[in-house]
Amino acid sequence: MLEVQGLTKYYGLKRAIYDISFEIGSGQIAGFLGLNGAGKTTVLKILSGFLLPTSGTVKIDGTDLVSSPDALRACIGFLPEEPPLYPEMTVRGFLRYLAQLRGVATRDLKRQVERVTESTGLTEVIDQSIGSLSLGYRRRVGIAQSIIHDPALVLLDEPISGLDPIQIVEMRSLIRDLAGDHTILISSHILTEVEETCDTLLVLKEGELVARGSEADLRERFAAALSVRVAIQGAAEEVRSLVGGLDVVASIESLRHNDKECVLDLTLQRDEPEALASAVVGGGFGLRRLEPSHNELEGIFLAATTPRTPTAEQSEGEQT
Ligand code: ATP
């Protein structure tokens, strides 16, 4: 349904995304994942027709977006990260206005607004002003405007961020319901927000697609990258030298220490934390803690997305 080939975008000299290719089948939900600045919004803006790529192609059912932009805009709906909503308008008035802008025929306006408010769970607030709605309901209005013209492809930029836990559950279920009639691409920087909702995950790191597949595919592919946190009694340099020299350790992500212990975040080569434990104890150091750093899939996501240069947070307190 959606075919993206070699998508690249430079903002002046700044490379935002590079050589991104993927496909999404009809009726599927795909999740675009990456840390802030990874390039998610840039991809969504290109797919929605807001931005032109520097190079690459986007096709929907075989039609090219760059050569037929008007035809394709008609089959794309977009919820930006900060959707422009008019707080003084009612939900009904706003959706009617957007439907007119999107070229919905006058005779279909009433039916279309009612259909969309029903499918997004807005019927009970349809005559309320948008400014009086909770964040969860305002987000629904944003989704309703994105599907008002019944697009085949719906792009949702961070639709779950900022919602409370109950609203998150409702939003996931709303997105799942929409997938029957639409193909959906969601962006998020938090894996757990989208892993349950999406059929396919596309992982972006520094503008490049570094992994894609179902949650199970990603688990299998990154199974060897096991993140652990270990606390060891000993001087920082001695601990670093011992741990850094072990076969089972792929990399030391960070090391902090105080008077009592060194705390290291490590990626293991293989799922053998016991090899690490026995080497530490055998080397004469006290092993105070050894635990998984993140929940398993979150660890996979971090292993795939974290830039090679440590972030300011990781470097804080780090001794080299
Ligand atoms: P976020 O979740 O923070 O929005 P993102 O993954 O959506 O991040 P983008 O907004 O696509 O990332 O940005 C990708 C890169 O391009 C970033 O380094 C960003 O600073 C840069 N960038 C984005 N827009 C522009 C612009 N108009 N001019 C120059 N650089 C830009």
Supply the pLDDT for residue 309: 44
Q: Is the CB of 38 under 6 A from ligand 1?
A: yes
pLDDT attached to residue 107: 92
> What is the SS3 string spanning 201-232?
EEEEECCEEEEEECHHHHHHHCCCCEEEEEEE
Measure Cα distances from 195 to 36, 39, 169, 178, 203 in Å: 18, 19, 13, 17, 12
Q: 36: Cβ below 6 Å to ligand 1?
A: yes
Distance CA 115, CA 286 (A): 65
> Residue 129, CB half-sphere, CA atoms under 13 Å: how many?
6
39 lines ligand 1 (CB under 6 A): yes
**pLDDT at position 315, please?**
39
Q: Which residues in the chain come in under a pLDDT of 70?
A: 219-225, 294-320
CATH superfamily of 2-219: P-loop containing nucleotide triphosphate hydrolases (3.40.50.300)
| Mutate-to-test residue for ligand 1 from 7, 32, 42, highest number of ligand atoms within 8 A of CB | 42
Q: Which pLDDT does position 93 carry in this prediction? A: 95
DSSP 148-167: TT--SEEEEESTTTT--HHH
CB of 121 closer than 6 angstroms to any ligand 1 atom: no
Query: What pLDDT is stored for residue 304 in this prediction?
Result: 64
Distance CA 93, CA 49 (A): 25
Architecture of domain 222-317: 2-Layer Sandwich (3.30)
pLDDT for the residue numbered 34: 82
- Host H or E run for residue 52: none
Q: What is the pLDDT of residue 294?
A: 59
- The domain spans of the chain are 2-219, 222-317
Token pair belonging to 144: 């309703």
What pLDDT score does 220 carry?
67
Angle between helices 236-244 and 273-282 (to 10 degrees): 130
- Looking at residue 302, its pLDDT comes to 62
Q: Is 56 left (phi over 0), alpha (psi -120 to 50) or beta?
A: left
* C-alpha 216 to ligand 1 mean position (Å): 29
CA–centroid distance, residue 47 to ligand 1 (Å): 15
Neighbour count for residue 127 (Cβ, 10 Å) = 9
How far out from the chain centre does Cα 90 lie?
31
